[in-house]
Amino acid sequence: MIDEHVVRLHLHIEAAPDNVFPFLTDPDLYARWQGVRAELDPRPGGVYRVWMDAATVASGVFLEVEAPRLVVFTWGWEGDDEVPPWSTTVRVELAAVGEATTLTLEHSGLPSGRAAAMHEEGWRLFGSRLVTVASGGDPGPMPPLSASEPT
């Protein structure tokens, strides 16, 4: 049995779920907080593909999409044997808290060790960028990938 790791992230965003949800499903808005380009077809069975840079691509398929409260998709890295495309699952739930949103992200099925640590670090970085952009701020340019990320 493979030892699996789950990344959990809880974020507070100063925007309503209706305003946050498109940042999870619209390719242009998605690329403002994660990656340099995205190809998204947000419906069960639809493509999920994000270019972190010109050569590093995360890909999977959407499993569930319920606007404006839930997005679930598979995740993995093209060309990576440790976390290949479609091999893990990301679940993002949005809940209204007054006029703001609590976002809960759970990335499951990750192998423990280096891959788990890399994804934990990545979701924290990109989560903070999502909080900024969905709240109306500018997260700045996409940061360079660390040496530990797949190439």
Residue 148 has pLDDT above 50, yes or no: no
Residue 72 has pLDDT above 60, yes or no: yes
Residue 126: count of CB within 10 angstroms of its CB: 20
Which domains does the chain show, CATH number per domain? 4-134 (3.30.530.20)
pLDDT digits (tens, 9 = 90+) for 26-62: 999 999 999 999 999 999 999 999 999 999 999 999 9
The model carries a pTM of: 0.92
Average pLDDT of the chain is 93
pLDDT digits (tens, 9 = 90+) for 78-94: 999 999 999 999 999 99
Confidence of residue 2 (pLDDT cuts 50, 70, 90): low
pLDDT on residue 4: 79
Confidence of residue 146 (pLDDT cuts 50, 70, 90): low
